Structure 1
């Protein structure tokens, strides 16, 4: 592996800030993996903030012959987002969008997550064409560069067919915007040779009738193998040809810095049904007929796929354990109106019934039931990952058969699975496009296993590409995985055309070398990723990256995927009997850096588990590692703290009391400056003091609130240690404690409020749990549960926790008591007992990570929308990153998680609301508006119906 050109590196240091240049082995290795089964460690990682910077960096790479690879979300399945040279990443700056023509067009920067593009179009009832399974994670740059499609996209709605305009940066750093006539004219002058070469190439292809027919045949299927040479017969204008060649080029021809899509209707009336047929042939014959019907998606699952998700909600056992030949179809139908949907269902049902399904879940418009059906389909891939042996990787291949050969293709693939011992392999796919995914597990830890995989793939490629004339890659991109087989599929003439395209557009070959076109016929079995044992908590990780969008530390340190990648490497090196000098040096660096990047900076919220296909909570691993590092002294301190919790409460309250008085005396600006200075000179051992710190909370009442009606409903109200010690900020307009406000609302609604005696002794255990003191945390939580059991008369009286983290923590410990979070209780039992006059000003709403995990996000939205005419829920902020006390001692984690908050709420919202006092501190500091508990909003706009 060659070193990075010194002149290139020195110029890069002049162009980018030090924060944008990553050179340490820990973070380089963290970016050395994508969702594929390949691994390459970049020598340099660059974080790019603007078009001008990307132009400059690419121009320098061109000048000094340095290979560069572009990476969006890193969900690539064929190894196209990794490199052993320079890896280019995008910062959070690349998320601008512009909607045109009443939603018929949308212009997107490459850093926007696919699902967010559809959120922007929601009010227009439109959507982008591509709908890959990774749409909640993958980004527009990757969707376009890989020509990703999906379940409903088919062949006609992918990026190739829906692109309207594009801004791209070529291999020499030149930028061309196809929507800017002046820019286009300059480009035609400066790059006339390139455009002329493309025109000549197009003419030669169009004049070759045999090749032209082959291209036409190949693209009636889903096909992402090689370059999109259909552009050479679909267009004559060389700029149109260039733009369409960029689609699916996987960063080997240029960088897409903006793309404008034509959008499609997103009909809200829809129904789903699941139907099982006795053989693959019967199912595929049905698919052929369904292709002429008004269906949006037809997903095929073989019997092994259904068996893999046996017991999943919504799937009757009768669908499982059938004969191996049995094949199921999951079908979705949509309509512009309900009447049209009903008509479409009747037409489709007639076709299905003619093929006599042996099992049926008939079409339903019930949203919950439909979601269950689609969860069955989406659960098949992770089901294989969840049962794989440690040390193996999950491989998902992606082929397309002509639809008339689909049934035989399924049977022949099953034969190959049995021949090569892939007995766990399953098949599912997008049947209307003849697109099949097959999933199996593979280890690469010895030559025999690598040879098994190679022999299997040699037979698969012959079967699909040669025997049936299908596509070896239908939607996952060629990458490194199928690069050696492009010529096999396309033939020598077409392959030479592709080589010529690369020579014309990237003559020096600096853009993502080894991807799509690769002279090494064994490149698919080189640089294979090892999956060593790390810890049972994370060993099932398939490194897909689905966890990353919700991680608060993703731009600050490492993501959950990267924490697992590095921990695996550390454990791998630790397990070796002898290390080379380079490995010894690497291990020292990894251990040193992992303490901050992996352990200390993890918020450990567990949101990653919500997105993980196999349910991995990386926060559990981090808490375990924190616990392992707790020495005897720390354990003693934790135990003493738990036993003398009221003392800690008192000390904390006194600190906040002093903070409030000093802020009032010195003023906000002085306090912020002083706090920053003290935090810095203490080496972050002192918390970051600022003007949004809470003042001391008033003492909690310990009585039953006076209600004249003795038969009034009772509720036990438990105030968390945070709200017992932390009152509102010194400049808050409403200085009452959260407990006072909650009592006010309960009283208006006619509830008798019971509060525990000596609440300062009580705690759910969260502060100890987050620091890894698991036993102390559990004991403290059990103490609270015991007290609440007695106070509630074994659960006869409902119990309300005032903040979401405590509510979630006590439920995670385990109890059958009727425990509710305050907002959730209000939504379910209280708000309808109040008269509400909604607030006229727009308010901001933050859904805490604990609320998301507890499944009560809907209650927060319900309350907010009932109490305010306009509610702004900032995009791309899933966790505030305050994480207990980390927002005090590691404020950059909090700032990183809330980077875009201020621009989304300032000048738009009068106040912000949430349901965790600590989160509200960080939200207030980083937003420019005050955040308080939603109970303050309820109290402000509500009146007793009896008054």
Structure 2
């Protein structure tokens, strides 16, 4: 760490806890990555929790002249969220929201994810205006600071246009709340000279007719290049000017600690059409004709873009038959009711009726079909990223041109791609705004490649600014990669005005220096991020960060994006041999930071645009650390019945000791044993299960009048009973069997049940051969007991169901408990809902299997109110990680208890997950099957209802 930063760290240590001050080389390397193609290694990373902390840090930075950069989710594409100085990241204290005026307005803190804000507003039929493609991961702070827009947002509903008020912290540490008259009055008094200077600049700008007209022209298009100079002409009050300058300022003028948006309608009725044209020119003519109609989104996809996805499953067959100059428009219209929607569709169809299309135009309001259409559009960026050459990065740029010049701009861009050798480049974009995205792959490992990239960007900048008077950054923010071109786009007078604003609000240039305005004409070619091959499982990663909010270790150690970035560095060091000492240090630190604290749950794959499961990398690393023929693993697998029986006996023994000495003494005893053993003794908690008696179930007498079902209890269900003091003393096996019989099924158990296992405990530790052997053994038994798939299989634990679904013979019809209950049992049972408020945990495996909706539907039928806690995805228990690495479970569930403490109980679909959930929530979590049994009349004996699919 540089000397000046050591002094700054000493200052922060006076009021920031040590665990939130990160300076070790591994983690600063991890935080050196955002979604852009740049890398800078921060000297210090600070997790901030409050406005007071930010204000004190900013004040200290001003006194010591230390540069600060703010980061929300780090999904920015232009290098605006990285630094080689001090990086401030948002902790848990920034997720507040307040709905105002019947949801006409909403206050949001910067740590709220955009999609979550819309979930808050959904019951009111409203949403926030900005709708970036990254909305499921991007946080409000970044959305506002970059003026991010999206497919439907346009220029009318972005952060600038829908801003009502904000709380902001300036470079001198002052907090201003523009929605509080007292705060505003105090600020007018304390910062009179600043406001007078802003007022003067605004008056001069409005009086400069040529400059005013240029600003008006620039913002008729989508534009995030440079500062929001339109604030100087749109508003007279310096307070309004100031808060609107903050929008799109990328953290270079201040910190937005809260924003109040005016919301927009979220119409429930929607229809989409994917329209193909043989000529790009015709598609662009259609855009101009559609623009005046009641349309919400029009996405243009060029022929190269269509070609990149034409061979994927589910794509319309016509795509492969389209000519070389073809293009497509994805059109969406929304309305408050069905009749209005029909009228709008008719208006759109009428507008383009004279234009030739490759096939007849058909709108659909079918949700699945519409989702498929939009999946085509959203799949374009990852389609390029997933097939790029290893070692290259994928770059997405965005420009805007007048809509009437859309076709010629696309043609000109294609000529530039051909000239510079970017044959794989594709173009798509928000056509209504003339906003084009172009995606291409780029290596930065040679000077020639860097020169090629530089040449392309110089030509693009000249083309967009000179020929089309467009914007070089329509919605992705200026960042570092367009900073050299701001003056080219805006002209010297406007550029100098931007510098005046920067010096006025940040005279020492301590806030994100080098971003937006930069005097280095080659800054966009500096600090380029290496993307070396690391492992074929993750080489397709584009480091976008969409995965990070799903990761249970994100607040403890590293995230999937960071793990991959670190493993790339380890791989690079291994190949280069340049620094053996550093390699040894990084590898050693990675063991805990990257591998041991990875739950390997795979939730990251559900958010990843290219489907990467970073857990696969973790398991591969564990595999390399364990010889495949591990004698202990093979012995356990061969003696599985005895091992599980011993496990059950051990749990019962521990429970008896617990009963004898009490909870406090038991905790002290086990904590001491764990500490003395160097954490080799597993963590004990009061939520530990009792042992489930191991007993062989005899097959029931055949009953031809009942449907048969094979019940496959997981090894966890067979070993673990309820926790001490549970609301029910019955095991999951007993409750499940009773319910299946009540629903009219004849329950059958596999032979040799006690020895069977799906192999997951071995797979998660990288013992692949042992895992495969156990899965194969189970597969053979299930083929036998199900009569080659004639009888369905009920699996009572979601993680096991997920693995079995990937391993079993396709002939075997396996159903997870959630799916089986939802599809086949609910209609067979007489259910009386409980008048209770319950908590529901959707396991990562249930999410990956697409069972979340089914589980919510079941729970809603069984209880008056269902609470699904925010920010709780994977619980981090991860099989046995809750015992061996309990801090992972604790971190993942750190925000659980306050959200569920009013609930009568919690329910899920994984016995091990329920141990950690019970411990960290203060309420007992059990399988959803227990709640179902409570709600079912004991006299139910019906066979009518949905038949199981055989």
**TM-score (norm: length of structure 1):** 0.98
* Partner Cα distance (1:356, 1:339) in 2: 27
**Secondary structure of 1:840 counterpart:** strand
Question: Take 1:286 and 1:659, find their aligned partners in 2: how far apart are those partners?
Answer: 73
Structure 1 residue 676: deviation in Å?
3.2
Cα distance between partner residues in 1 of 2:350 and 2:152 = 21
The structural deviation recorded for 1:98 is: 0.4
- Structure 2 residue matching 1:258: 3-state secondary structure: strand
Q: Which of 743, 751, 757 is residue 763 of structure 1 equivalent to?
A: 757
Q: Is the 8 A contact 2:5 2:44 kept in 1?
A: no
After TM superposition, list the pairs within 5 Å mapping 1:14-413 onto structure 2: 14-360=14-360, 362-413=362-413
Q: Match of 2:600? A: 604
> Does residue 1:899 correspond to 2:894, yes or no?
yes
Counterparts of residues 410-809 of structure 1 (less than 5 Å) = 410-577=410-577, 579=578, 583-631=579-627, 635-705=630-700, 710-809=704-803
In 2: Cα distance, 1:757 partner to 1:278 partner = 62
Q: Give 1:312 deviation, angstroms.
A: 3.3
| Shift in alpha-carbon separation, 1:360–1:659, aligned structure 2, 3 A | farther
| Alignment CA distance shift 1:789-1:331 (3 Å) | same
Match of 2:947 in 1: none
Q: For residues 620 and 787 of structure 1, what CA distance do their matches in structure 2 show?
A: 27
Shift of 1:536: 0.8
Aligned partners of 1:137 and 1:503: how far apart in 2? Answer: 33
The question of whether the paired residues in 1 share the 8 Å contact of 2:836 and 2:864 is answered with yes
- C-alpha spacing 1:361/1:289, structure 2 compared with 1 (3 Å): closer
Q: Distance in 2 between matches of 1:444 and 1:360?
A: 45
Aligned counterparts of 1:847 and 1:374: Cα–Cα separation in 2: 26
Assess, with a 3 A threshold, how the Cα gap between structure 1 residues 76 and 3 changes in structure 2: closer, same or farther. Answer: farther
> Aligned-pair distance for 1:280?
2.2
Contact persistence 1:841–1:868 (CA under 8 A): yes
Residues of 2 paired with 1:369 and 1:199: CA distance?
52
SS, match of residue 630 in structure 2:
helix
Residue number in structure 1 paired with 2:866? 871
Distance 1:406-1:806 versus aligned 2 partners, 3 A rule: same
In the alignment, what sits opposite 2:843? 848
3-state SS, counterpart of residue 310 of structure 2 = coil
Q: How far off is 1:651 after superposition?
A: 1.5
Tell me how far apart the structure 2 counterparts of residues 252 and 167 of structure 1 sit (CA, whole Å): 16
CA shift, 1:658, in A, is: 1.1
Match of 2:920 in 1: 926
Q: Which moved more, 1:613-622 or 1:244-253?
A: 613-622
Q: Report the 3-state secondary structure (helix = DSSP H, G, I; strand = E; otherwise coil) of the residue aligned with 2:836.
A: coil
Deviation, 1:802, is 1.1
Contact 2:751/2:781, CA 8 A, preserved across alignment: no
Cα distance in 2 between the residues matched to 1:458 and 1:408: 19
Cα distance, 1:880 vs structure 2 = 0.7
Q: What is the DSSP-based 3-state SS (H/G/I as helix, E as strand, rest coil) of the residue aligned with 1:16?
A: coil
Query: Which whole-Å CA distance do the structure 2 matches of 1:863 and 1:659 have between them?
Result: 35
How far did 1:807 drift?
Answer: 1.1
The whole-number CA distance in structure 2 between the counterparts of 1:585 and 1:506 is 41
CA distance in 2, matches of 1:277, 1:858: 37
CA displacement, residues 490-532 of structure 1 (integer Å, 9 cap, x when unaligned) = 0000001100000000000000001000000000111111111
Distance in 2 between residues matched to 1:533 and 1:833, nearest whole Å? 54
**C-alpha offsets along residues 229-260 of structure 1, whole Å, 9 cap, x if unaligned?**
00000011111101000000000000000000
Please give the alpha-carbon distance, in whole angstroms, between the structure 2 residues aligned to 1:285 and 1:795: 56
The residue matched to 2:87 in structure 1 has which SS? strand
* SS of aligned partner of 1:664: helix
Q: TM-score when scaled to structure 2?
A: 0.97
Which has the larger displacement, 375-384 or 2-11? 2-11
Change (3 A) 1:188 1:678: farther
SS at match of 1:102: coil
Q: CA deviation at 1:813?
A: 1.7
* Other structure's SS at 1:274 match: strand
User: Do the aligned residues in 1 keep the contact of 2:43 with 2:86 (CA within 8 Å)?
Assistant: yes
| Contact 2:221-2:434 within 8 A present in 1 as well | yes
* 8 Å CA contact 2:5, 2:43 repeated in 1: no
Q: Shift in Å at residue 701 of structure 1?
A: 4.9
Q: Which residue of 2 aligns with 1:881?
A: 876
Residues 361, 367 of structure 1: CA spacing in aligned structure 2 closer, same or farther, 3 A cutoff?
farther
TM-superposed deviation, 1:674: 3.4
Q: Check the 8 A contact 1:704/1:752 in 2, yes or no.
A: no
Which digits, 9 at most, give the CA deviation of each residue in 1:243-292, with x for residues without a partner?
A: 00000000000000000000001001000001112222211111112110
- Say yes or no: does 1:10 pair with 2:4: no
Q: Which runs of 5+ in 2 are unaligned?
A: 943-950
8 Å contact kept, 2:775–2:808: no
Q: Deviations over 1:443-501 (max 9, x none)?
A: 01011110011011111000001211000000000000100000000000000110000
DSSP 3-state at the match of 2:362: strand
Contact 1:103 1:263 in 2 (8 A): yes
Q: Deviations over 1:863-914 (max 9, x none)?
A: 111211211111221111100100011111111111211111111x111111
**Once structures 1 and 2 are overlaid, which stretch shifts more, 127-136 or 822-831?**
822-831
Cα distance change on mapping 1:651 and 1:946 into 2, 3 Å? closer
Which structure 1 residue ranges, 5 or more long, are not aligned? none
**Superposed CA offset, 1:63-103 (max 9, x none):** 10000000111101000000000000111121010000000
Matches of 1:270 and 1:672, distance apart in 2: 56
SS across alignment from 2:164: strand
> Helix, strand or coil: the match of 1:271?
strand
CA distance in 2, matches of 1:271, 1:341: 8
| Pairwise CA RMSD | 1.4
Q: CA deviation at 1:14?
A: 1.1
Asked whether the 8 Å contact 1:484–1:524 carries over to 2, the reply is: yes
Deviations along 1:108-154, one digit per CA (max 9) or x if unpaired, are 00001100000011111100000000000010000000000000000
